[in-house]
């Protein structure tokens, strides 16, 4: 038991919405596993459901949390399908009342919800990112030197939402169609960036700076002939699809030691530039022997069978140890 005996209870915050979307249901499943860990450790916990309406009266929401006097909020709240920004609003609220919470601060969450902003901060820190532009209107797109094939992805989503077969485009016509389709649902715009064709890596970290590396997973798309060379929404979440079953990361890849060191160093620098804390994953892809930071995932899925946890198990940590460690890193003590 690594807990300094806390006073009071831990509040497990999770969103409640009427959604059948798999990535939303996952947070609820995670809540159950985490509750079990606290129960087994003799830590009192309470589940706190956050409904969309709660944000209409923020002072009341604040008051309800303060009345419970939690020593820490275990934050599984990811906003809503139609409004991921609420994830940031909620953490800002916790910051404003100085209640310790697990995972990443509002600054990091907010930057990572805007992939264009994240890219720009990384670039300013001399870290390699794919060249890209933001598009909010399908008319008069200026490619500014970008060459096909290109990749079209939402500016402000995660979990491969909006990543489908038509994300990879080879010409102007396909590009316009892919943008048009997405802009209908994505008022904040889409990013067009150069396609990185090589292996995809994901580095799992634990800790406040300095960070501990839990492990690196790899997807080698060249081994999955006949499948799309990127992680679509189906490949990530739709358990009944062929791509979900086949296009899976290798959690114990054989990576050359020097390359692995480079991947980890780049990822740690990127995480530091965005102020990551607690638990997070950094995704990269390779092009012509160079690595590019593709995506930073603060507060990634930490279900028992998640990619993040698989890497943690590979490092010799159990689920319970990980959950306790994540609480400890909230600096509640």
Contacts with ligand ADP by CB under 6 A lie at 130, 151, 153, 157-161, 163, 193, 195-196, 200, 230-231, 283, 285, 294-295
Stretch that binds Mg ion, among 122-130, 139-147, 278-286, 323-331 (CB under 5 A): 278-286
CA dihedral 31, 324, 68, 113 (to 10 degrees): -60
Q: Which does residue 231 touch among Mg ion, ligand ADP, none (CB within 5 to 8 A, set by kind)?
A: ligand ADP
- Smallest distance from ligand ADP to CB 251, Å: 16
Question: Residue 148 phi/psi, 5° resolution?
Answer: -70, 150
Site string for Mg ion, 195-224 (x = CB under 5 A): ------------------------------
Residues 155 and 134 sit within 8 Å (Cβ to Cβ): yes
CB-nearer residue toward ligand ADP: 2 or 246: 246
Q: Which does residue 274 touch among ligand ADP, Mg ion, none (CB within 5 to 8 A, set by kind)?
A: none
Handedness of CA 236, 187, 30, 4 (dihedral sign): positive
CB-nearer residue toward ligand ADP: 26 or 193: 193
Q: Which does residue 130 touch among ligand ADP, Mg ion, none (CB within 5 to 8 A, set by kind)?
A: ligand ADP
Q: Which does residue 230 touch among Mg ion, ligand ADP, none (CB within 5 to 8 A, set by kind)?
A: ligand ADP
CB-nearer residue toward ligand ADP: 94 or 294: 294
CB-nearer residue toward ligand ADP: 106 or 217: 217
CB-nearer residue toward ligand ADP: 77 or 230: 230
- Smallest distance from ligand ADP to CB 130, Å: 4
- Smallest distance from Mg ion to CB 285, Å: 10
CB-nearer residue toward Mg ion: 194 or 295: 295
CB-nearer residue toward ligand ADP: 193 or 324: 193
**From candidates 26, 295, 301, 324, binder to Mg ion by CB under 5 A:** 295
Q: Which does residue 159 touch among ligand ADP, Mg ion, none (CB within 5 to 8 A, set by kind)?
A: ligand ADP
Stretch that binds Mg ion, among 76-84, 101-109, 141-149, 276-284 (CB under 5 A): 276-284
| Interaction site with Mg ion (CB under 5 A) | 283, 295
């Amino acid at each position: 038991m690594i807990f300094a005996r806390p006073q009071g209870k831990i509040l497990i915050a999770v969103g409640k919405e009427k959604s059948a979307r798999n990535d939303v249901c996952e947070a609820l499943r995670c809540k159950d596993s985490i509750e079990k860990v606290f129960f087994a450790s003799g830590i009192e916990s309470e589940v706190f459901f956050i409904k969309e309406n709660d944000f209409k009266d923020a002072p009341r929401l604040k008051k309800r949390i303060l009345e419970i006097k939690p020593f820490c909020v275990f934050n599984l709240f990811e906003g809503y399908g139609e409004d991921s920004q609420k994830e940031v609003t909620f953490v800002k609220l916790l910051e404003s009342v100085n209640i310790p919470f697990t995972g990443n601060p509002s600054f990091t969450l907010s930057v990572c919800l805007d992939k264009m902003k994240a890219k720009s901060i990384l670039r300013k820190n001399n870290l390699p990112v794919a060249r890209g532009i933001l598009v909010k209107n399908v008319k008069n797109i200026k490619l500014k030197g970008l060459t096909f094939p290109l990749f079209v992805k939402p500016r402000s989503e995660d979990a491969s939402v909006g990543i489908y077969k038509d994300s990879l485009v080879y010409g102007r016509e396909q590009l316009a169609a892919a943008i048009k389709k997405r802009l209908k649902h994505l008022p904040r715009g889409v990013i067009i960036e150069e396609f990185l064709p090589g292996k995809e890596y994901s580095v799992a970290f634990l800790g406040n700076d300095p960070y501990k590396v839990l492990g690196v997973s790899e997807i080698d798309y060249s081994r999955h002939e006949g499948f799309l060379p990127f992680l679509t929404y189906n490949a990530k979440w739709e358990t009944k699809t062929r791509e979900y079953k086949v296009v899976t990361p290798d959690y114990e890849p054989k990576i050359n030691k020097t390359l692995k060191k480079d991947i980890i160093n780049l990822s740690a620098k990127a995480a530091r530039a965005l102020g990551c804390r607690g638990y997070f994953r950094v995704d990269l892809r390779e092009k012509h022997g160079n690595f590019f930071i593709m995506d930073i995932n603060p507060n990634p899925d930490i279900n028992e069978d998640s990619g993040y946890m698989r890497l943690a198990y590979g490092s010799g940590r159990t689920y319970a140890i990980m959950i306790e460690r994540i609480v400890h890193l909230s600096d509640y003590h």
